[in-house]
Chains A and B, each alone.
Chain A
Amino acid sequence: MSTNPPSDCPKTLPLCLLAPGVQAEIFSLGGKDAINHRLRELGFCEAAKVKKISGRHTVMCEVCGTKLAISAELAQLIHVQPVAAA
């Protein structure tokens, strides 16, 4: 299971480190196949938009219009690229 994105990728960070209120695009998922599949089925697909709401450990975020709480360990696996505010 990798918490680090590939080296030849744009600047990304784990979802847990994203500041609250910031919208980001999911770049990659670093977990095992089963975990990644589950995350994708809940809307955490590559290129999907996610907005972090709160939390430094357990994270509250919004994806596909739904609010979800995810454990810190899962939030570490989701690599995102912040999106500039419109």
Chain B
Amino acid sequence: MSAPIFAFVGNPNCGKTTLFNALTGLRQKVGNYPGVTVEKKEGECFSQHGKRMRIVDLPGAYSLAARSPDEAVMRDVLLGRRADTPRPDRIVCIVDAANLERNLYFASQILDLGLPVIVVLNMMDQAESAGLRIDVAALSRRLGVPVIPCQANSGTGLLELRVAMSRADLAPSPRPFWKLPAELAPAVDELVEVLRGSGRSAEATLRAEALLLLGDRETLAAAGLLFAPEALPVVERWEQRWRSAGYDWKGALVAARYGAARVIVHEVVNASKVRSGPSLTDRIDAVVVHPVWGWVTLAAVLATVFLSIFTLAEYPMNWIDSGVAWLADTVRGALQPGDLRDLLTDGVIAGVGGIVIFLPQILILFFFIGLLEQTGYMARAAFLMDRWMGRVGLDGKSFIPLLGSYACAIPGIMATRTIESHRDRLVTILVAPLMTCSARLPVYLLLIAAIVPAEQVPVFTKVGLMFTMFALGTGGAFFFAWLFKRTLLRGEQPMMILELPTYHIPSLRSVGLHMLERASLFLRKAGTVILAISIVLWALTSFPRTEEATPAEQIANSYAGHLGHAIEPVIEPLGFNWQIGVGLITSFAAREVFVSSMAVIFNVDENEEDATVPLRQALLEARWPDGRALFTPLVCFTLMVFYVFALQCVSTIVVVRRETGSWKWPLVQIGYMTATAWIACFAVRQVGLALGFS
């Protein structure tokens, strides 16, 4: 007999993923549901008797009435509507013990599904801290299913949960804990018969499906005919009857569930020890969402994050750089000179090494984002930003993917899956690459070193110039979001509803697992595509072969060199020549490739220690044919502006294609960002020339 499949469900912020991680550890895999951009998390753990149990961690939701792709997948998996995912045998419904009333609304829908359910009462420590005492046995009696008190981040209750999951006699709740309004009962009975007759639905879920059709027909219709088409006329007839009678059937359904939840909470929760006065969360919120101190806090948090990226990552980046150089030297020494050796050292090792070197920065940013999400601060940041995001037609939820894009646009774009509005999601995806990602940093560092003529560039000078580029990119993202919401993707003003969870100590284990998961996704996705493109670019710069040529001469005569010459008329108004053009072409794979391309073009040996110094010198000594300096401060600044706006990242394009389901939006993105980069650079150059720079 195959391992039973448990679905983990619950409201967002109920600690579901922490519980999933605690039970499965590293025995989990992350993928995607086919056909939709929703993450699929599966794992396994072992029962009390050592038998394997499969767990599917479904996206968090407040209701089976789906408003986003995540919630739609959750609904369809639970109803057995997805061909790629078997219907779960049992459900573990995680509820937040400190917010029982609201969580019981969703639990009532889960219990209606007719499957065996275990309710996990998570975050018991927070409930107790708030002075709430819950009679777990009484709650279990009222719900008709086992209830396990738990504190997932400390492991409390995990053994009891495993024992409950191991039980062979788990049964569905014998009766719903809420009462269906009398006006709706005949409609539900009729729909159940119609759905039964259609043969499309499992017997256990007929009532739940009937209720869903009555409460959420529009969303179901928009999702396609996942339900029996013969049910729709029945639904429409009853809706017409209720509408004529002035009866709000949807409101009555919700009120019935919440009414029952309120009665249960009144019976099982002893709130006599609840302290009056503001809680710790309230006292912290008084500062972090204060009209003035809130922004100070946000600025301090962001400054800490970005300074950490610049300073802490330096050591591991140097180690990786040395490691990659050692590997290239080893291969170079082991193989005979020739195309194979060049392919391995200059294509494969250089290509993969160019990605791996940025892993420390990405990990640091994922660490902070995970920490901020786990503590509950991220929601406060979204609250602060909502008003300003609203000015450009987005809501505060878009701030979180945009913030993630500062590390890398790829996870930032993937994080847009929680945005309910399709239009707003698209706009956020389109502008996310404008947020200055960590891959731009090596380009900026090289060009800043060329602009500032000191041997040692003070860190605050670097940070100041870097901040200018960040501000440009962020400003550009907001501008284009505003423009797209008024033109290409015009839509209604978004309306944000966001839960602000209680502050709590983050689970470092969960943060660590999240970092590992994101890092492996990043390496897998970016590494495979970039590796392939790096090999292609190596070929473009290596062929046709010019005998007895220096590396710079080889590049000049290569296909890439010819391409550079071909685009020179277009980029010359920006102050760029064909050599910079080759760098722009090669860095289309990944922005950081620009640095290594310049090293090759200007004959710099990258294996020298501190290769930035000789490369900077080489850039400063580079000349146009007429003797003018090539890398003037104005040209360097213009190049930085180019990298702010241009979409120089094929991995991002691939991810956008996957997340949007077509090539239309990646092409729109390449088009508008390239055009903006050219126009911005042209403007910068003209202003610079007018001000007397050359």
Contacts and interface: CB of A to CB of B under 8 A. Distances in A.
Nearest to B281: A67
A11 interface: no
Size class of A's contact patch? 20 to 34
A45 B285 contact: no
Contacts of A65: 98-102
A57 B396 CA distance: 12
5 contacts: A36-B250, A43-B101, A65-B102, A69-B379, A73-B493
Contacts of A45: 251, 254-255, 258
Interface string B498-533: 111110000000000000000000000000000000
A35 interface: yes
Given A38-B497, A43-B258, A67-B501, 4 more contacts: A58-B383, A65-B98, A67-B281, A74-B497
B289 interface: yes
Interface string B208-250: 0000000110100000000000000000000000000000001
A1 B258 CA distance: 25
Nearest to A44: B497
Interface in B264-278: none
Given A40-B254, A41-B105, A74 B65 contact: no
B497 A39 contact: yes
Of all A-B residue pairs in the complex, the 9 with the closest CB atoms, nearest first, are A69-B383, A67-B500, A58-B386, A40-B254, A64-B102, A74-B495, A71-B496, A57-B387, A64-B101
Interface string A33-75: 1111111111101101000011101101001111111111110
Contact of A58 (B250, B251, B396): B396
Max count, chain A CB within 10 A of own CB: residue among B98, B499, B501: B499
Nearest to B67: A38
B285 A68 contact: no
A68 B495 contact: no
Given A33-B250, A64-B101, A67-B499, A41 B63 contact: yes
A57 B389 CA distance: 12
A57 B499 CA distance: 16
B70 interface: no
Interface of A: 33-43, 45-46, 48, 53-55, 57-58, 60, 63-74
A37 B100 CA distance: 20
A42 B497 contact: yes
B44 interface: no
B390 interface: yes
Contacts of B495: 35, 70-71, 73-74
Contact of A70 (B105, B218, B255, B496): B496
B500 A71 contact: no
Contacts of A67: 281, 285, 499-502
Contact of B396 (A38, A66, A69, A73): A69
Contacts of B258: 40, 43, 45, 48, 64
Contacts of B101: 43, 64-65
Max count, chain A CB within 10 A of own CB: residue among B67, B102, B215, B285: B102
Nearest to A37: B250
A61 B484 CA distance: 31
